[in-house]
Structure formats: C-alpha cells, structure tokens
C-alpha cells in the first residue's frame, strides 16, 4: 500500500512539473510565421528555400521545446508592406504566432515590426538590408540578424575607393533599402576621398535598365555602383555587359550581390566583381556540412540569408528552452545574453538595439579558370571583424540605447 502511495505521489509530482513547464509556453505551442517574397524579385535569395532552412532548424531542435510543439506557418508577402501588415496582424491577433521570421524587402520589414511592437511579439529579420531597421526604426520586438547596408558600404565601397575608384555613379532601388544603402555608400566614398558625381533612382522592381545604364555611361564616373538586389541587380549587370560598361573603362560595383545572383549570372559575366557577404557556404568544414544537407533538399547551395534563417531559428528555440518561457521580452533578453557560435557565426552577439553583430567577409567572384565547380564562386579576400563591420552604438539613433554613456 505504501509503495502504491509513493508511486502515485511521484506520478502526480511528475505530471505537475510537466504541466508547469508547458504552462510557461503559451497555448502549449510555439508558432513561427515565415514571411518572405516567395515568387518575385527576391525569391531566390530567401523565398521557399528559406522556409526549408527554417524547417531544418525546427527538425534539428527536435520538433518540440520544453514539451510544447513547434508549428510553422508561411506566407508570400509579394514585397508589399500592405500585404505583409495584413498577414502579420492576422497571425499575431488571431492565429497565435509568437515569432515572425524571414522578412526580405526593407519596406515590408519596417511595416511588419511596427505591428510586432504593438502586439509585443517577436520578429527575427534575416533578409532585409536597411541599416535603419536597428537605427531609427529599432524596436524592442525585433532582431536584425544577417547583414545590413552599413557593412556592405564599409566593405565593398571602401575597398573599391582604395583601389582607385574615386568617382561614383550610384543607381539605387527607390525604396527604404536602396535609400539606406545609397546613404551609407555615399558617406564611405566621401570619407575615403572619393566623389559621388550622380545618383539616380529606379522603380522597384525594374526589368529594363537601358536608360539608367546610358546615364551611368554619360556621367563620366569611374565606378557604376548598383544599390539594388535580387533580379534588379542581375538585370542591371546584364544590361551593363550588353552596353560595354566595363570595356569602356568604367568599373562595376554590385553593393549587394547574393550567391544565387552570381550563379544566375555565371562567372563569365560576374568574374572580378567584389562584394561583401555575411557568410559563404564553403568558408569552413562546418558550413560545408550544413550546406551539403541543404543542397540535398533544395538542389542549390544556400545564400547567407538561408544560413541566417537556420541559425536565428535555433538561437530563438534555445532561448525559449533556457528561459522556460515563450514570453517575448524574456526570450529576447535570453537571446541577447547568449553568444552565437554555430555554422553561421563564431562569437556573434545581439546588441540591445537588436543588431546581431558578427564577422563579415569581403569576397571576389572567381574567374572561369579559378572556379572548380558550379557553386565554387567566391574567393574570400579578407575578414571584416564584427567590431568594425557594424555601425557603432555611439552613432545610433535607436531609442533603446540613445543617450547611454557606456558603448559596447
């Protein structure tokens, strides 16, 4: 009888403990919403394969966190802030979504993070580039994970100016990302002794770049810089090739170029272009091993965005496990307190403004003779240390840290 009472007491205690652990997870479920351009300009750099990377993270974590199931939903934002806002509002107000991942177009991200702030839910931005996302548009409800326009400018633009590219024509995608990149690049060019001769903005997206490239050729600038991304960049580079931009003595600087873009262009066209990236699939054994798994499922090598989605999702789930809660602010603070050491970044950390800082890389597209395979596309020229890559907090306009004296 005493043995039965002890067994019953132990069983009740175990059930209470399990119930208590799950009670800290709202609805006994962690719901992640993946929001991205699934069919348009930015499809290849994130898109459906970003969803695959996220699902790989959930699977590798075990599918549950502290006994609660992990559920993933997804939507195509069509690069529209209105579509994104409507989708995310539905997710957080009616569908119980705890965290929104992905987010590519910066205009979409800025609209989305406002809703996350209002509802006190969390967002992890992996695809967007505008450095303003953790500057004037920072909130206590989102983290910017993979890269932004600040290191793009301080990597690629600084290198090009130092190599003699002292006069610039900047062709910019006319929305938040392009404006932010243009601003950061112009500052770097001027600080390094160069001159911006002309700035022209093109509609987003654009299929015909003929008139813009003709303006670039007529500007007399030694460098034609592309402050755009995705298919816009591919179309602009192809048009520049057709018009003989580099043959006429001008150099081409692609300020945001993804692995999938270079693959689409081919090394014959893209060879010699310098770019800044937050990650490369062949940078070390750990990155290659994960990339092999990703390629088995998708048929392509991952971009830095795909890798960042995987890494950030795992970091989020580990934070829930450690905090024993999916409360937004508890999880965010746990993510900030925990260094990131995985296949994506070593010694990465999330600052109070939400910027995840980590080493960036200056790369150069290989020549056809150097490339040993379909995806063997980059030479990593140098590492840009995390402390040098991102905007210092001392220069930040973020409301979360503005006015602080101690700067990390």
Please tell me the predicted confidence (pLDDT) of residue 14. 43
pLDDT tens digits for range 155-204: 999 999 988 999 999 999 999 999 999 999 999 999 999 999 999 999 99
User: What is d(CA 376, CA 392) in angstroms, rounded to the nearest whole number?
Assistant: 34
User: What is d(CA 112, CA 67) in angstroms, rounded to the nearest whole number?
Assistant: 29
Q: Per the structure block, which two tokens stand in for 201?
A: 């903005």
pLDDT tens digits for range 286-325: 999 999 999 999 999 999 999 999 999 999 999 999 999 9
What is the secondary structure of 264-282 as a DSSP string? HH-HHHHTT-EEEES--TT
Please tell me the predicted confidence (pLDDT) of residue 402. 63
CA torsion through residues 286, 289, 293, 295, sign:
positive
Please tell me the predicted confidence (pLDDT) of residue 393. 94
344 pLDDT higher than 90: yes
Which domains does the chain possess? 28-147+283-354 (3.40.50.2300), 150-277+360-386 (3.40.50.2300)
Q: Per the structure block, which two tokens stand in for 227?
A: 């402050």
User: What is d(CA 40, CA 293) in angstroms, rounded to the nearest whole number?
Assistant: 26
For residue 70, what are the β-bridge partners? Answer: 30
Q: What residue ranges in 188-288 does DSSP mark as E strands? A: 195-202, 223-227, 251-254, 274-277
Please tell me the predicted confidence (pLDDT) of residue 246. 86
Reported pTM = 0.89
36 pLDDT higher than 60: yes
pLDDT tens digits for range 90-125: 999 999 999 999 999 999 999 999 999 999 999 999
| Integer angstrom CA distances of residue 58 from 27, 64, 71, 108, 353 | 18, 8, 9, 25, 26
């Amino acid at each position: 009888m005493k043995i039965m009472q002890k067994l019953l007491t132990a069983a009740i205690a175990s059930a209470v403990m399990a119930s208590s652990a799950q009670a800290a997870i709202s609805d006994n479920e962690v719901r992640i919403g993946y929001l991205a351009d699934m069919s348009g300009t930015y499809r290849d750099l994130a898109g459906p394969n970003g969803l695959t990377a996220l699902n790989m993270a959930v699977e590798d974590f075990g599918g549950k966190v502290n006994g609660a199931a992990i559920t993933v939903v997804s939507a195509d934002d069509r690069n529209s802030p209105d579509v994104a806002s409507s989708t995310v509002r539905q997710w957080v107000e009616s569908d119980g979504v705890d965290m929104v991942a992905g987010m590519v177009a910066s205009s979409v991200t800025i609209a989305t993070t406002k809703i996350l702030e209002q509802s006190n839910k969390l967002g992890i931005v992996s695809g967007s580039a505008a450095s303003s996302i953790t500057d004037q548009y920072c909130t206590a409800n989102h983290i910017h994970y993979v890269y932004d326009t600040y290191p793009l400018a301080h990597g690629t633009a600084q290198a090009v100016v130092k190599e003699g590219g002292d006069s610039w024509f900047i062709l910019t995608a006319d929305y938040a990302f392009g404006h932010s990149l243009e601003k950061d690049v112009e500052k770097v060019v001027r600080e390094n002794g160069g001159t911006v001769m002309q700035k022209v903005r093109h509609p987003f997206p654009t299929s015909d770049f003929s008139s813009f490239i003709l303006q670039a050729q007529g500007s007399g600038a030694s460098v034609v810089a592309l402050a755009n991304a995705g298919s816009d960049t591919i179309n602009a580079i192809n048009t520049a090739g057709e018009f003989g931009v580099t043959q006429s003595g001008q150099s081409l600087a692609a300020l945001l170029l993804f692995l999938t873009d270079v693959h689409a262009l081919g090394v014959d066209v893209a060879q010699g272009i310098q770019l800044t990236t937050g990650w490369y699939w062949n940078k070390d054994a750990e990155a290659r091993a994960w990339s092999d798994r990703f390629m088995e499922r998708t048929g392509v090598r991952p971009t830095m965005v795909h890798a960042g989605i995987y890494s950030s999702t795992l970091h989020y789930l580990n934070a829930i496990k450690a905090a024993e809660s999916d409360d937004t602010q508890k999880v965010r603070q746990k993510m900030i307190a925990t260094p990131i050491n995985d296949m994506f970044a070593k010694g990465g950390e999330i600052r109070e403004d939400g910027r995840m800082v980590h080493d960036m890389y200056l790369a150069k597209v290989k020549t056809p003779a150097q490339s040993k395979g379909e995806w063997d596309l980059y030479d990593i020229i140098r590492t840009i240390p995390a402390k040098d890559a991102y905007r210092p907090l001392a220069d930040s306009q973020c409301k979360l840290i503005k006015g602080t004296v101690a700067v990390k």
